[in-house]
Structure 1
């Protein structure tokens, strides 16, 4: 699998390089897209925190780390 980058390049995604919590945060973030709805939006930080029993600050930290890991840190956060 490859991750598209904003600059048009691609970077291989290495799921094994993610911690278990980072993987769970990423899955929770993308869960609204699970059924292919054209109107899905990513889960909010508060929703992810509640689902995973984390603080909102912890979710934000994991999302920043994931953004850097996937090379998409310059994309808008909303």
Structure 2
């Protein structure tokens, strides 16, 4: 093998390694974005559930409670 062919082969290998590194970096960025979206969605779901529980706990218990709240200025 000549020196030129060896250098060409090494250059091709270096380009392949660089391309693989770019691909893996892009995959990591995509996966990080997906993980951030999942965390954001979980946070929103948790806040929604908390609001639902709060609304349930603050709801009038019976008719007398409704009347009392209405007389005091609203539900």
Greater helix proportion = 2
| Length-normalised TM-score, structure 2 | 0.23
| Length-normalised TM-score, structure 1 | 0.22
Pair member with larger Rg: 2
Greater strand proportion = 1
